[in-house]
Amino acid sequence: MSGNTMLLLPIILPFIAGIIIGFMNHEKQRNRLVFASIAVELALIVYLTIGESSITVWNMTNRLSIAYHIDGISKYFACMICIIWLLAAIYSMEYMKHEHKPARFFMFYVMSLGTLIGLCFSANMMTMYLSYEFMTLLTFPLVIHTQELQAVRAGMKYLGYSIFGAGLGLLGFFFLNTYCITTEFAPGGTLNMALVSGNENLLLLIFFLMALGFGCKAGMFPLHAWLPTAHPIAPSPASAVLSGIITKGGIICIIRVTFYLFGADFIRGSWAQTALLILALITIFMGSMLAYKEKLLKKRLAYSTVSQVSYVIFGLMLLTPVGFTGALLQVVFHAAAKNILFLCAGAIIYKKGTTFVNQLRGVGKEMPVVMWCFTIASLSLVGIPPAGGFVSKWFLAQGALGASLGGFAVVGVAILMVSALLTAGYLLSIVTDAFFPGDAFHYDNLEKKEPNYLMTMPLVILSIAVVLLGIFPNSLETFINSISGVIF
């Protein structure tokens, strides 16, 4: 099989495996297939990312096609997604024992990975749009998995917001097909400047609407309301990947539209750049404030995602290499940390049945491994070294101060600092109560409630990764610099 044809395997195989998994009732055999299919997926992606390859599957017209291509962005996101997807799957093998219809859950879980890889590998706007829509449709069953009324309502909200956001992207696609030389992704953009001349404000409006639409999946204000409703209601492994990974689907689309279709030079200094920076900062502050006030643990973590993913959008919209580096570092460190936090929340729910923050006093004595992992992830999101979140936030602050934004840069850094303080308030307060419950806590009936290795091993691996990549971030920085060197 040729290298180009092999590019389709990581996209097709999860769909085939997912369908088979959906009809498997034997738990151990199903778990083995889930693990094997995602492990093979990871091996294929690592093999394919050694070089660059392309394949066109179908030409609808001379300007519309389904095509895939591997470049730096594809490699970065696909590897991150697949590694975390595998770890969350291992965790799910134990967690889903107390949920009904695990076969259906794993079917859509594995199939969703295929469409995410298709999104990463998309070579043009049409392929990206279709992959984005499939991502929404295949993750919708994960949101409504319990089939309770609240879950169905949350799922419909997720579906409505996501389709509306994708519709804004499709609207932009119509215009780009006219004003771009090609809708194939190319570093630096593909605008036909002869056609753009005199229509700059129209194109900036289209860019703004597309970024706003795809920003919906990333939880950016004002299209953020679905996220704190949908993410907490799903089973905890699904909540983890929805918050940590699926939100990055919107980020991938924003990167492609910004740097591979419009081009940073066209947007830099425009009202569209300023408007998106303002929306990102509003989201960062608003999400942190709402998380600080929220008492339901998983909903607090969901509001945290609203805030933390907009750090990425803020970095991207700085339109500088340093801001871009900070944004892509934040992608990895947020994905890892937020998966840890939601999986820790799931472990607490699984072993203790507690869902509110005020019920977690002393849980560090009962589940020390889980809560130490929770602590490391919390430190990363706050931005305290040596956890990785410090590195990404350092680059974001440096990018803001070096982006020639005047007083706006100072305001941006100030909001990042305030958000960090609020993050410390709503996460580290949980850690403090967990390990130092106070004299009123009853130690007499204390018993260890640590979950088994299937649930703790992914937490430990992700926590170690957050610390090691925070101490030794050079490999990630070098790879990101190789991407930014091409697009800037």
Whole-number pLDDT of residue 50: 85
Q: Mean pLDDT, the chain, as a whole number?
A: 92
- pLDDT value for 2: 42
H helix intervals, 64-148: 72-95, 102-121, 125-143
- State residue 255's pLDDT score: 97
Q: How confident is the model at residue 25 (pLDDT cuts 50, 70, 90)?
A: confident
**Would the pTM count as exceeding 0.75?**
yes
Structure tokens at 190: 């593909």
Percent pLDDT > 90 in the chain is 78
Answer whether the bond into residue 222 is a cis peptide, omega within 30°. Answer: yes
Q: Is the pLDDT of residue 165 over 90?
A: yes
Task: Give the separation between CA 17 and CA 419, rounded to whole angstroms.
Answer: 42
Backbone angles phi, psi at 124, to 5 degrees: -150, 175
Predicted confidence at residue 384, as pLDDT, reads 93
**pLDDT given at position 313:** 96
Q: Give SS3 for 449.
A: coil
Q: What is the pLDDT of residue 444?
A: 60
CA separation for the pair 400, 251 (Å, rounded): 19
DSSP 337-364: HHHHHHHHHHHHHHHH---BGGG-TTHH
Q: What is the pLDDT of residues 325-379, one digit of tens each?
A: 999 999 999 999 999 999 999 999 998 888 899 888 888 888 999 999 999 999 9
% of residues, the chain, pLDDT over 70: 98
pLDDT band at residue 1 using 50, 70 and 90 as cut-offs: very low
Mean pLDDT of 312-335: 96
Average the pLDDT over 457-465 and give the result: 96
Burial class of residue 23 in the structure, from the number of CB atoms within 10 Å of its CB (0-12 exposed, 13-18 middle, 19+ buried): exposed
Instruction: Check residue 384 and give left, alpha or beta (phi > 0: left; psi -120 to 50: alpha).
Output: beta
* pLDDT at residue 82, rounded to an integer: 96
Higher per-residue confidence, 4 vs 252: 252
What's the pLDDT at 437? 80
Is the pLDDT at 3 greater than 60, yes or no? no
Lowest mean pLDDT across 88-92, 176-180, 261-265, 352-356: 352-356
- Answer yes or no: is pLDDT of 456 > 90: yes
pLDDT digits (tens, 9 = 90+) for 74-122: 999 999 999 999 999 999 999 998 888 899 999 999 999 999 999 999 9
Does the pLDDT value for residue 203 go beyond 80?
yes
Burial class (CB in 10 A: 0-12, 13-18, 19+), 60: exposed
pLDDT at residue number 445: 66
Q: What is the pLDDT of residue 449?
A: 84
Quote the CA–CA distance of 145 and 134 in Å, as a whole number.
17
- The residues spanned by each domain of the chain are 268-488
CA distance 461 to 458: 5
Listed in sequence order, the residues at least 6 apart from 380 whose beta carbon sits closer than 8 Å to its beta carbon are 333, 336, 337, 387, 388, 389, 390, 466, 470
Residue 409 banded pLDDT, cuts 50, 70, 90: confident
137-141, 231-235, 398-402, 472-476: least confident range: 231-235
Per residue in 32-82, pLDDT tens? 999 999 999 999 999 988 877 889 898 888 888 999 999 999 999 999 999
- Rounded to whole angstroms, the Cα distance separating 435 from 439 reads 12
Structure confidence at residue 447 as a pLDDT band (50, 70, 90): confident
Q: What are phi and psi of 135, to 5 degrees?
A: -60, -45
Identify the pLDDT of residue 403.
81
Q: How does DSSP classify residue 270?
A: S
